[in-house]
Amino acid sequence: MLRTQGRRGEVAAELHTVSWERFPSGCRVFALDGHNQRRQFVVEDSWPHKGMVVLKFGGIESISQAEALIGCEIQVPRSERLPLAAGEVYVSDLVGCAVFDRGAEVGRIAEVRFGSGDAPLLVVKAGDKEHLLPFAAAYLVKMDTEGKRLDMNLPEGMLELDRRVIENL
């Protein structure tokens, strides 16, 4: 969550889903803080605002209570997820997937980062190496989240990009 919004404990959150409507009234969510501590909340109301979603949680009634949630990640339990349309995927289903480029294993997705461009970045780790790969339809050949595998066709030299920058420092 990015900031407080309003005077009754509302918070504005960056939206990493197709629609703010994924947070209906009565939806149970968890707020994960930077110390891996989770707090459970029930959504009382939600609405779109300037490219974000504003959330009103039960039990959060003031700006000071809402301030404690700044920086938390909102997580929806698997049991309460809404069905996805074709071509959509939950971020949590990507984490742990093995990434293959033209059949060769690159590594496993450790996290997904947003906000650095049009496409989210897959943080793919293989031993002590880390690759930042755009999760873009243009590079995706096949996605099997149940089988924990992504097949990609990455542009030539993309996997060496991060290494060259580090070597040149």
Partnered with residue 140 across adjacent β-strands are 152
Partnered with residue 98 across adjacent β-strands are 108, 149
- Amino acid, single-letter form, for residue 116: S
**DSSP assigned state of 166:** H
- pTM for this structure? 0.69
pLDDT along the chain (169 residues), means of 10: 87 80 88 90 93 93 94 86 80 94 96 83 93 93 95 92 53
Query: So what's the pLDDT on residue 59?
Result: 95
